[in-house]
Structure 1
Amino acid sequence: MTALRAVIFDVDGTLVDSERDGHRVAFNAAFAEAGLPDRWEVQEYGELLKIAGGAQRLAYWFEQHGTATGQARELAQQLHRSKTRIMRQMATDGHIRARPGARELIELLQSRGIRLHVATTGTRAWVEPLLRHAFGDPFDTVTTGTEVPVLKPSPAVYLDVLIQTGLSADQAVAVEDSANGVRAAVAAGLRCVAAQNAYTRADDLSAAVLVADGLDDPELVTWFGDHLV
């Protein structure tokens, strides 16, 4: 087996607990700011996560509640801009926390000379302050949906990281939390470790080389320990 040289992390739901207490809160604040009555509760938002992309999620929601397709998409784009601004402020203010075990895993990998990268389809406007506040500056490459706007399960964002870094797929491992993320990583030729969360425990993560119950799961920590050079 080729020696592990790099780990490529997803962000939402993987490195940080951002879906329930980040994005959902920001969406609800954007609804309120626009004077709309819509609100997404915790369980409801979990169901909506099956739709990849925040703007797409909004458009689907509005269409399902009787808004014509064209108007739904226009309203979704408007609301998504507001939501991104709110999410950026939340990230800057430190309201979105690292998942248990995230910092410890990053420190372990750094101590063993493993390069760290990020492949997310989130918007750079909020991804950068979030990562900086939660982790400092451990990542060599941060590729976001601003540069690669094709959503997972497309492998595009992972392929972009591989091109930027000059890594071959067998030299790196992806860390994801969801079915779409695992599919994206595997389609890029990467091994993938899945660290599921409350929203993704029912996802089909079977294509991952390991499915763990979070980044602090001893099985996940042991797996990386066994594969570090």
Structure 2
Amino acid sequence: MGIDALIFDVDGTLADTEEAHRVAFNLAFERYSLGWSWSRAEYRGLLDVTGGKERIAGYIQSLPLAAADCRRLLDLVPHIHREKTRFYSSMVNDGGIALRDGVARLLDEALHAGRRLAIASTTSAINVDALLHSTLGPRGLEMFSVIACGDQVKHKKPAPDIYQLALRTLGLTPDRAVALEDSANGLRAAVAAGLWTVITPTFWTEGSDFSAAGLVLPRLGDPHKPLNDEPGRQLKSVAWLSFEELARHARPPAPLDAVQALYRRVPQ
């Protein structure tokens, strides 16, 4: 299999952003005097729902509320989420979030090898823009040929829509690209789109079922922050995932199981 593009998730994959998101949600809740405060343990469970507005709505619907109160709060969701995005963007713009180990290196290696980069994320475009500019500088947006965000598709992960959109825009079939993810929902979306997928979990996603992944590593690693027990365990040449090694590993994914098949749609 030849790789023409790498398609990256954002939250948890490019950077471990979830703590900043959690804090931003809580600040927005405080601004609206809602009396809610999501703990780390609670937020970890809430991440089963992809998309910030969907996460707030799902939380509201889980509360023991009268129907009228539930409707009133659901009407507030876009406003709460807008405020949350403002808090999150401020934290990112202040330099509070760094790329995960090995991400900047792998991006540069792929570009140096003449491959393209893409993003397939359920987060909003403004969040993606803020993170790329804060961590990669003015060239951040220019590095990616395609940036597909959650509001551009009808169904968010674990549906494959966002990956199918990225593939269509790249003009590639799934066997010519590799996805990089950190979560079970992201993996299901990528595999349902036909993509061979690398998983690098975080605190928020570790322990999930990643059996459908092509490769699971604790992180990408770097020469100055090598992976333990590598090379020799999963990697053959160096103790970090290089683009060269990724190209050797990548192969078309195994056939979909019955659950993954539910999300399979052929790109139009």
TM-score normalised to structure 2 length: 0.79
Query: 1:9 is matched with which residue?
Result: 8
Measured in 2, the distance between the counterparts of 1:59 and 1:66 equals: 13
Measured in 2, the distance between the counterparts of 1:146 and 1:63 equals: 22
Matched, 1:61 2:59: yes
Query: 1:128 is matched with which residue?
Result: 129
Letter matched to residue 244 of structure 2: G
Deviation at 1:148, TM superposition (A): 2.2
Counterpart of 1:207 (choices 212, 216, 236) is: 212
Counterpart of 2:150 (choices 142, 145, 149) is: 145
Measured in 1, the distance between the counterparts of 2:123 and 2:111 equals: 24
Deviation at 1:193, TM superposition (A): 0.6
Letter matched to residue 185 of structure 1: A
**Structural mapping, 1:86-165, within 5 Å:** 86-135=87-136, 136-137=139-140, 138-165=143-170
Deviation at 1:15, TM superposition (A): 0.4
Counterpart of 1:183 (choices 188, 199, 216) is: 188
- Number of residues of Structure 1 aligned to a counterpart in Structure 2: 227
In structure 2, relative to structure 1, the CA distance for the partners of 1:227 and 1:212 (3 Å cut) is: closer
Measured in 2, the distance between the counterparts of 1:146 and 1:75 equals: 18
Percent of pairs identical after alignment?
A: 40
Q: Which moved more, 1:49-58 or 1:85-94?
A: 85-94
Structure 1 segments unaligned to the other structure (5+ residues): none
Query: Secondary structure at 1:184's aligned position in 2?
Result: helix
Q: Deviations over 1:49-97 (max 9, x none)?
A: 1122212221222233323342332132321121122222222222222
CA contact (8 A) 1:121 1:148 kept: no
CA contact (8 A) 1:5 1:172 kept: yes
Query: 1:225 is matched with which residue?
Result: 244
In structure 2, relative to structure 1, the CA distance for the partners of 1:222 and 1:56 (3 Å cut) is: closer
Query: 1:48 is matched with which residue?
Result: 46
Q: Which moved more, 1:46-55 or 1:204-213?
A: 46-55
Measured in 1, the distance between the counterparts of 2:49 and 2:209 equals: 15
CA contact (8 A) 2:183 2:208 kept: yes
Matched, 1:83 2:84: yes
Letter matched to residue 15 of structure 1: L
Counterpart of 1:23 (choices 21, 36, 39) is: 21
Query: 1:37 is matched with which residue?
Result: 35
Measured in 2, the distance between the counterparts of 1:97 and 1:25 equals: 16
CA contact (8 A) 1:63 1:72 kept: no
Query: Secondary structure at 2:150's aligned position in 1?
Result: coil
CA contact (8 A) 1:30 1:82 kept: yes
In structure 2, relative to structure 1, the CA distance for the partners of 1:227 and 1:97 (3 Å cut) is: closer
CA contact (8 A) 2:50 2:122 kept: no
CA contact (8 A) 2:51 2:150 kept: no
TM-score normalised to structure 1 length: 0.91
Measured in 2, the distance between the counterparts of 1:177 and 1:158 equals: 15
Measured in 1, the distance between the counterparts of 2:60 and 2:17 equals: 23
CA contact (8 A) 2:13 2:200 kept: yes
CA contact (8 A) 2:148 2:162 kept: yes
In structure 2, relative to structure 1, the CA distance for the partners of 1:182 and 1:199 (3 Å cut) is: same
CA contact (8 A) 1:8 1:172 kept: yes
Deviation at 1:149, TM superposition (A): 4.5
Q: Deviations over 1:162-221 (max 9, x none)?
A: 111111111100000001101101111111111111111111111110111112245574
In structure 2, relative to structure 1, the CA distance for the partners of 1:206 and 1:223 (3 Å cut) is: farther
Measured in 2, the distance between the counterparts of 1:64 and 1:110 equals: 45
In structure 2, relative to structure 1, the CA distance for the partners of 1:23 and 1:227 (3 Å cut) is: closer
